[in-house]
Chain A
């Protein structure tokens, strides 16, 4: 069974600091990878996704993620965070062998101090 691990449960940063959130998955086959964001009181929104091609994926609001197959990782990055980035971030994976079911990581709660 596929699984997703997010190592940082809570992250606190000051504005303009750089961000990197870790995500590792367990499945060894072909996967599709996602980062979702949930702002306070709002629904989950897709930040970015990786299906194939360039392993460095750029998403909305200045976020990017790099797929490193050898490390089974898909870390999320942003060079300079803003207070408005305060939210919970979820990494997720699907694979054909798992029936394209979306499996979520435990989430990382990011707080950006102004």
Chain B
């Protein structure tokens, strides 16, 4: 199947700093990418849908100024957690839709574990 690379896999930062997470589709072009957040022992919750060349669509309750998404190319989307605080500590997962595999198939990155001290 298609490969989605997410970097970094783990990051620890001080409160108040910003953290950027990258999501790349390695062998396909992804016009649409998704960002999820997974709390311990809970399911994945969609944060936003990232569309190449346009603004991201955020789910209700997700602060767009807090979680900045940029999808500047067909193979790269970035999520920047701005002014991170301990409550932002979580597991962030991206996915990309492969148009060649069918409309509803998403391939997932390995996730990024963010710890804010």
Contacts and interface: CB of A to CB of B under 8 A. Distances in A.
Interface in B72-117: 93, 95, 102-111
Contacts of B54: none
B43 A102 contact: no
Contact of B49 (A51, A90, A101, A103): A101
A36 B36 CA distance: 15
Interface in B4-37: 4, 6, 34
Contacts, number: 45
Interface string A34-74: 10100000111110010100000000000000000000000
B46 interface: yes
A42 B105 contact: no
Contact of B46 (A42, A46, A49, A102): A102
Given A42-B110, A44-B93, A104 B43 contact: yes
Given A100-B103, A105-B43, 5 more contacts: A43-B6, A46-B105, A90-B43, A101-B46, A102-B106
29 contacts: A34-B104, A36-B108, A43-B6, A43-B93, A43-B109, A43-B111, A44-B44, A45-B1, A45-B108, A46-B1, A46-B105, A49-B105, A51-B102, A90-B43, A90-B44, A100-B104, A101-B46, A101-B49, A102-B34, A102-B46, A102-B95, A102-B104, A102-B106, A104-B43, A104-B44, A104-B45, A106-B42, A106-B43, A107-B42
Interface of A: 32, 34, 36, 42-46, 49, 51, 90, 94, 100-107
